[in-house]
Structure 1
């Protein structure tokens, strides 16, 4: 009996929505040849990750096994699946396989970070295959909210696994390939050992709607608007951008695309032949000479991103264009949980300008790119897997997806990041647990979650900061009084005196009383000064700040 096994290990994307990274392996335990499916990012927020640019899965486990990594396969071009490819290439050094549209965007990312573009290899869809060690992998077209999305058909000596990728069941997605039940039935025919499946909308009990349903409502909205119309959506939703542009064109408006990501997506779609009949667009400079009621802007920033076009328009001018009273602003998107505060800020700023804001509360102007519960059930029926492993969801989504599978007589298991599953038997079982975490792109440097950088930044943000400077002479006696600089703290405390002056006085009193042994020992002196500064701040302003002590000795 063979002791080789088929493993599945999520490093990101299981127990959360974002930074997807899934490892498959086949071989003897601890000798498996490996492939990685997707390598995405998540986005920071000011509460938990202040100042961070991007977040992605910790690749330490995979980096330590780089000699066993055969390839990276990217299902589609959303940032939470593609965004970390160029960030991690130096560590992983494996070929990257993707279809044309995704490959185009991947090469742009590689070029921006000085990585070799030829590491990205363009592949054709099913039935074409890529051989990667013991695996044979095919890209199976599936509908989603970005062109050329794919599930992966992963064959190994242990049988066939289907990795759904992000998907919905849409027969008319406007741009990109429709869901083809015949293709998926053909994929299922030899038998599928496991379906690793998108769980995002498992709680949505109604059947999903097609992208093609939005055109009439959007056209009517734009036609009835009196002033300038601005619409924001996900830049990657090329079909939605096209539908919005066509609605504007039918209403007799000139179309302006604003935002680097929006232009890049449309360029990539045209370059790869995904998009062939996009309405004519004009630049923001040309728009200055066109009456406002003949203009429609399609802009980035549907999630409230501070530097995107939507936020900048809400604050003032952007590229010479300014919103005015009577204009219409449409959110043709769903607000991702966690972004509500930023989106509401923009809505209020637009309201202050007298702009009328329309969101998706009516359900007329947005459809999801993910399969709802009835569509998940249909996918289960078509693929007919021996076992179902939910992915791409928070823990509650994964757990509910398992309940759905079991209610229909199928075997399922909740596998979160770091839980390695053995898929070789008749039911999935936990093989081992791997330590996983997050890596932060902080400026131009990658920082580990345990490095303390972000923790210290949060502590400074919460508590403020004090720098204490002390000078000692050759005899280890204080040379003058200590002085303090504060940041992020109230200037005056409960005593009605300046906080800095009270703190300096307390520190000086301590130095005058300190014994020679303490004055000679930098560590003891630093600890004492830090304690006194924090105690004084607590008494004066009710805060215990972070403290940096600088001790200079005259030698």
Structure 2
């Protein structure tokens, strides 16, 4: 008889930063009862995923076992942890469990798909636990850059697992709960089999700083700004938005929030009681009549998002507001790797307008929401787990975190997406590898990363496109000359003649000498015409375009 086992399987978020989705299971191999922790998204870029709206984890493995799935637990309301909840809810069909603030955000996402509020159940903080199958799960408060972040205490017949979620050790986070080392030590006292732990800042050597340290620097900057003051940060960082608003209020400036996500996060914070004393704000309409030197805008778009308020202000006007010489723009945020081009584009656009640009500036105006290396060491010491499973990080982060765990005398293992671990023994072992990847939200349709759609889109962007149309009569002979429609290619080539004319002449010559075996077979004819076009384009302009051939036959 096969014994029961405790498994851990990341489907997203391990080997990358973003798109978090982690499966835990307990039972006989292949028959485990399952829970899912987080269901997030990551964001596309024009280089690798042009035209894609969002990137979701590939949950095919989990969908095939949906009858084994007990529940989905959400640690906090960042997009990379809750952003896919609406896209995947119908596929999973399991209840969603979250604390009040996160539940508020999740219900908003589900409502876009017509899913009722009752799909999300609100849980209280530790020591309350909820039971699903062989699991008892509790939400353990932890500080982060968004309200009501929680680690999960997952009790199983094989022992206790603590899944940290994203966290930092902040004794005074301003909004949300402070890190309570005594509470965490109490939770760890019965013994912890595995600590599944955030790895984002494992390479940062200094202890993390508190959110509360930023206020004086931000206030001094705002007070010294001569014109309109504008700042951007993550909309979900409610504590930072509050710090910015309070500093503006103390400097005698009226505060206006711009961007749907910014307003939504503040509204959710107030609705759920995590924010009770936010300064009064003015509407964009009322702000128009306030002198520039008395106004503070807090806007979305800290990562260079093209549709967000920051980018629109950089391009021109937004809701009647326009940046001018003498204004100041503060990036109270850290640029996520990969977003540098978009942020720099905005900075340069503001610079051309004569706007003073202020960035993170060595930590004066931003602190990270993730634990640095000394904080990770302290977390390991408090929890004292039997084994450490690094998650939430690129491969180099996971590897360094595993080395850190081993240096502290604990078992550590690297488990990237698709690596199923068996946590039942004295050390984690790889049980099997599961095929996983990414799903693209392209418009309103989900497509697979390997379907070839985005690959074809990239090829067209790189190489241009030619459509060739040819008509074949009832006797299988060309009727007239073929013609070409060209997109994304130079008009003139080396021969100094229009590229389309050269292509059509070469195609006509080919058709005039083509044999019956080619002219009677659409596949052979299409492939031959495609080769002619690509060779002509290569000779004329040094490019081999994508080619679509349309063969019309008269019958």
With the shorter chain as reference, the TM-score category is over 0.9
Q: What's the offset of the Cα at 1:117?
A: 2.4
1:176 corresponds to: 176
Alpha-carbon displacement from aligned partner over 1:107-158 (angstroms, at most 9, x marks no partner): 0000012223211111101011111110000000000000000000000100
Distance in 1 (CA, whole Å) between partners of 2:479 and 2:177 is 76
Q: Does 1:510 align with 2:491?
A: no
1:407 corresponds to: 407
Distance in 1 (CA, whole Å) between partners of 2:490 and 2:311 is 31
Distance in 1 (CA, whole Å) between partners of 2:256 and 2:519 is 68
Equivalent runs, 1:37-436 vs 2, <5 Å: 37-436=37-436
Distance in 2 (CA, whole Å) between partners of 1:440 and 1:75 is 23
3-state SS of paired residue (1:256): strand
Q: What's the offset of the Cα at 1:361?
A: 2.4
Distance in 1 (CA, whole Å) between partners of 2:485 and 2:113 is 39
Distance in 2 (CA, whole Å) between partners of 1:24 and 1:324 is 53
> Unpaired runs of 5+ in structure 2?
none
Distance in 1 (CA, whole Å) between partners of 2:68 and 2:116 is 21
Distance in 2 (CA, whole Å) between partners of 1:254 and 1:165 is 36
Q: What's the offset of the Cα at 1:2?
A: 6.6
1:471 corresponds to: 471
Equivalent runs, 1:12-27 vs 2, <5 Å: 12-27=12-27
The alignment yields a C-alpha RMSD, in angstroms, of 0.7
2:445 corresponds to: 445
> Unpaired runs of 5+ in structure 1?
none
Q: What's the offset of the Cα at 1:362?
A: 2.7
**Number of corresponding residues:** 555
Distance in 1 (CA, whole Å) between partners of 2:359 and 2:224 is 16
Q: What's the offset of the Cα at 1:403?
A: 0.8
Length-normalised TM-score, structure 1? 0.99
Q: What's the offset of the Cα at 1:288?
A: 1.0
3-state SS of paired residue (2:517): helix
Distance in 2 (CA, whole Å) between partners of 1:474 and 1:285 is 69
Distance in 1 (CA, whole Å) between partners of 2:285 and 2:148 is 33
Distance in 1 (CA, whole Å) between partners of 2:284 and 2:57 is 38
3-state SS of paired residue (1:312): helix
Alpha-carbon displacement from aligned partner over 1:153-173 (angstroms, at most 9, x marks no partner): 000100000000000000000
3-state SS of paired residue (1:505): helix
Q: What's the offset of the Cα at 1:450?
A: 1.3
2:498 corresponds to: 498
Q: What's the offset of the Cα at 1:525?
A: 0.2
Distance in 1 (CA, whole Å) between partners of 2:2 and 2:517 is 69
3-state SS of paired residue (1:234): coil
